[in-house]
Amino acid sequence: MIDWNQPEIEFATGVVRQACRIAQRVQAGMAMQGLTKSDFSPVTVADFAVQAIVGRAMAAALPDAVLVGEESSKDLQTDEGKPVLDTVTEFVKKSVGEATPEQVCDWIDHGLSEPTDRFWTLDPVDGTKGYLRGGQYAIALALIENGRVQLGVLGCPNLGDNCQPDMGIGAMIVAKRGEGSWLNVLVDPEDQFTRLQASPCTDPKQARIMRSVEAGHTNIGEIDHIAEKLAVEADPVCMDSQAKYATLAAGGAEVLLRLLTPKKPGYKECIWDQAAGSIVLEEAGGKITDLKGAPLDFSQGRHLLKNTGICATNGPLHGAVLDAIGAVCQLP
């Protein structure tokens, strides 16, 4: 069982809950203001606001910590970016009290650090399209030491009971290396954590393959061919973001793939897109590697430069899925 009173765990769970609340406020508030994509996207505002909240909190609570985030305030500090910065600032003020645009930029840029031997990485809003249409998305924060994820927290505001992909009141998932993957209700910090366990399925025919609603994130045709190789009969599970890892960890599916697309044959995954989700799955008994079966190496900077794509499974099916990938995909 995780010691929930450890300072870094208290920080990570607290700040992710706060980040989820501001993401929800942005979503609701911008809809009420009638702002549309022709003005600027709610997800743009949420990305910056969440990173500002996390950067501010980390600077105060863990002043020596290094944060590697997805966003930079550079574009906000232009004439074109000023309306976005002003909107971000207003939402941040509602969360923390007083804040100036200059402070907000500084808090966002707290995440501009380069990876070191020990650092945190943040995806402020993972699952852009899911967020925009009111579907699944996640705030993902992870602690990495010597190229290996040691702590991961996923805040998933719309997940259903036991991390099911149907819309629900939200979930908080926390995983620590060697101490399991744990779930409680996002809206209630006092709710008791329960341990997650990946599916025990050993029959490839029964494998539920997770599909991104956003088609551009993988190679749909090759996933179909892999499913054929495995003789899959089960229906797929469709959802966005690293919330998929929570569903895998809870036994709601068996396979998640990030294949190379023809448009980006040399694509390397960003560390913040995989770090928190990877340890959530591993600590629930699942397995994650690249498409060639190599472990994920988070020591190569902001991208997984030594890895090609992602193969994540419940564990027992991993070898069969890798065999099918090898038979179908031409990997560099």
Asked if 256 contacts 168 with a C-beta cutoff of 8 angstroms, the reply is: no
Sheet containing 180-185: give its strands across.
Answer: 67-69, 118-126, 138-145, 148-156, 171-176, 180-185, 194-195
Establish how many alpha carbons lie within 13 A of residue 256's alpha carbon, considering only the half-sphere containing its beta carbon: 33
Instruction: Write out the catalytic residue numbers.
Output: 47, 128
Pairing assessment for the beta strands 118-126 and 67-69 based on DSSP bridges: parallel
Token pair 């607290």 is found at 14
176 by DSSP, 3-state: which?
strand
Structural tokens at position 308: 């090609």
Residue 70 to residue 271: CA distance in whole angstroms: 9
Q: What is the per-residue burial (b if ≥16 Cβ within 10 Å, else e) of 7-33?
A: eebebbbebbbbbbbbbeebbebbeee
